Amino acid sequence: MADPLVLTTANGHRAEPLGDRLATLVRALADLVAHNGVPDGFLRSFATTLTAPGTPPVDAARLDSVAARLGLTGTERAMVLLAGLPEEHEGMAATFRGLHPVGDPWPTAGLAAQLVYPRDRDRGPVRHELTEGAAVRSGLLRLSGDGPLFERSLLLAPAFWDAVHGADAWPAHVRRLAPDAAALPGLRGWLELPAVRGARRAVSTGADLRVLIIGDDERIGLSRAAALAEAVGRPPVAGAVDATDGAAAGLVALHAAVRGALPVLVLANGGDLAPIGVPGPVLVVTAGHGVRPVGPGPVLAVPIGPVLAEDRRRAWRAALPELRDQAAELAARHPLDPAIVAEVAADVRAAQRCGAVRSGPAGISSAIRVRAGAELPAGVRLTTPGRDRSGLVLPAAAADQLTAAIDRLRLQSTVIEDWGFRAGAGADRGVRLLFSGPPGTGKSLAAEVIAAEAETDLIVVDVSAVVSKWIGETEKNLAAVFDVAERTRAVLLLDEADALFGARTEVSDAHDRYANLETAYLLQRLDRFGGLVVLATNVRQNIDAAFIRRMDHVVEFGLPGIAERRELWRLHLPGTAPLDDDVDLAALAAIYPVPGAWIRNAAIGAAFLAAGEGTSITLRHLSRAMRREYTKAVRPYPGDPAATSEGVRR
C-alpha cells in the first residue's frame, strides 16, 4: 500500500519543502483532533506558519541525509517528524499532552498509526516499523513507557532534533571527545602505511564496516581517527562508550550522520564490541582495551604507529612555527607522538602568555615535565639533575661507555631512521644500560650525569613502592613509568633492579607463576622502550640472563683504586672548607679502601664534627667519621692514619 503522507524526497516520491511536509503532518493532526471534538485552531494556524518564508529552521538536507543513510520508509520519516514536533513549539507539546493517556507532551504510537495510516484499519505495518523498523533499530526513534504498544510515547534520540536544527547539541549521558586537528601535519607518513591506505579506501566507499585503531593511549588513537577521517574528506565526531553499549555507540553514529561526519567510538573498556544499528563505516579506538567484534559486517584493523623521524619534525614545525628552525633538534630531543606534540605546544603557548615558562627548547622541556610529573605513580620521582661529570670518578673504560650511551640516545633518529638501520638491520630505538657494582660506587650518580649531559630529566623509581602484591598492579605501575619516560625522553633509573629483573624460577606455586609473568612483561617492555633506561644492581648474577642479553652497555662499578680515592677525597672536601694542616689525602686514600659514598659521608660527617667544636677539619675528625662508616657496615676498622708534618696534602 502506498504511503498516505508523502513526506520524502527519495526514490521518486514527489519532492516537498520540509515546511510543507511538517505542515501536511500538522494539518492531518488537526483533522484528527477536530474529528474527536478537540479545538484545532492553533494547529491550523501553526501549519500556516510552517510554510511561511524562512521557516522552519530545521535543516531538510540534514534530515533527508540521515533518512537515506538509515533507509527509512516514508511512514518512518513521518513518525520522525511527528516525534520532533513537540520540540518545534510549546503549543504542539501542549496539544500532545492533551491527547496523551498519561499527559506526557509526546505523541503516542497509536496517534502515529492513525496519522500515517488514516484509511487503513490494519496496524500490522506500523507495528512492524515501531518494533523492527530501521528507525527503531538505529535508535533514532524510541518507545517510552510501560503500557500497551500504542499508548507508549514516541521519542527521538536525545539531542537529535536540536542537531537537525544545526545546533551543536550532544546527548548528556555520552562523553563527547574533541579530536585535535593540530596533530594532522605529523601523520602524513602514517596515512601512507599499507594498512591505513586500505582502511582509507574502504571507508571512502561508505561501506558498512568497523575500523579498529589499535593502541594504548586514547589521545593518540583519537588523533589517528581524526587523520583518517580528514583523509577521506569527512570530519570526525567522537564519543567515549562502553564496548558492549550498542545503544550509546549508535547514538554517536546518529549524531555523526546528522552532521555529515564520520563516527569515532573511543572504548572505555574491553569485551565484545556490540553491533551498531546505524549503517556505514565507524572508527573504533581501542584505547588499550582488548575487544572482540561480534555481529555481521567486516572489520579492519590499523596500528597507531610507527611515526617516522621526518613526521615528528613536521609535527614540531606545525605546532610551533616560531621554532621551525629547531624542529629537528626538538624531534630528536623529544621524540613525542604528534598528538602529544600538539598538547605540549598548547601548554607552552598558554604558559608563555602568563610568563610562566621561557621560550625555546627549555620552555618546551618544562611543559613536558609538568604533564609527565602529574602522571607518575607514587614512589617515582621526576627530577632535573644538576650534577656534571666533574663529580664522577670512574676508570676510563667505564667513562667511555657512558659517553657512548649518550651519543646513542642523541643520534638514534639519524642512524635508525634516516640511515635505514631499522629496516636493514632490525635496529630499535632506545638505549639500555646495566650498572653493576657494590653499593656506593657511583651508579646513581652516573645516571644523574648521563641525564644532565643528555640535557634531559631523570626518573628515579623506588622499587619498593612500585612492586605490588596485587596481581597486575606492578605491571600497571611500571607501564605508567615507562610511558612517561618515553614521552619525556627522561633517563629512567631502576635502582636495586634485581628485585624486578631477577632470574625466572621453576613454577612450584601461583606466586612463582605470576613472578615469571612480571619478568616476561618487563622483557617485552624493555624491547619496546625508546628512551634510555639504567638498571642498577649490587648483585649482577641475580639478574635474569635474558635482560643481560638486551643491554647495549654493561658498566662495572668496582671499588676505586688509591688514585681514584684520593680524587674522591679532594672532590668531597671543597677548597672553601677550613682544613687543618695535618690532613693528608694520600694517607686517607691509602688506608681506607672504601667506595665513594663512604668518602662522601665521612667528609660531611667530619665537617659537622669540626663545626660543633668550633675548629677547622682535622685528620682526627676525618678518621672519627670514617670509623662510623665502618661501624655501620659492621666491618673492622683499619685504624687511624698517621699525621704528617708536611702540612695539608691535597
Q: Among 127, 423, 454, 62, which Cα is nearest to 259's? A: 62
Q: What average pLDDT score do residues 461-468 get?
A: 72
Please give the mean pLDDT across all residues of the chain: 83
What's CA 326's distance to the chain center, in Å?
Answer: 26
Q: What is the pLDDT of residue 395?
A: 84
Sign of CA dihedral 86, 92, 93, 95: negative
Q: 226 φ, ψ to 5°? A: -65, -40
Give tens-digit pLDDT for 13-33.
444 667 777 888 888 888 877
The residue whose grid cell reads 569515532 is 264
Of the candidates 378, 383, 351, the residue with the CA atom closest to the CA atom of residue 488: 383
Residue found by looking up cell 659521608 in the block: 601
Q: In the 8-state DSSP scheme, what is residue 640?
A: P
Q: Are 402 and 445 in contact (CB under 8 A)?
A: no
**Helix 510-528 / helix 473-488 crossing angle, nearest 10 deg:** 10
Paired residues of 447 in beta bridges: none
Query: Do 581 and 612 form a contact (C-beta atoms < 8 A)?
Result: no
Burial of 169 (0-12, 13-18, 19+ CB in 10 A): middle
Phi/psi of residue 537, each to 5°? -145, 150
What was the pLDDT predicted at 522?
A: 78
pLDDT attached to residue 104: 92
Look at domain 562-632 and name its CATH class. Answer: mainly alpha
The ranges assigned to domains in the chain are: 18-164, 175-303, 309-375, 389-556, 562-632
Going by pLDDT thresholds of 50, 70 and 90, the confidence category of residue 513 is very low
What is the percent of the chain with per-residue pLDDT over 70, rounded to a whole number?
86
Average pLDDT over residues 554-578: 90
- DSSP secondary structure letter of residue 296: S
* Interval 163-184: pLDDT, tens: 998 899 999 999 999 887 778 8
The DSSP code for 325 is G
The conformation of residue 461, written as its DSSP 8-state character, comes to E
Higher pLDDT, 590 or 293: 590
Distance CA 122, CA 126 (A): 9
Look-up: residue for cell 523498523?
A: 133
CATH of domain 389-556: 3.40.50.300
C-alpha cell at 213: 585503531
pTM: 0.72
Run of H or E residues at 435? strand 431-436
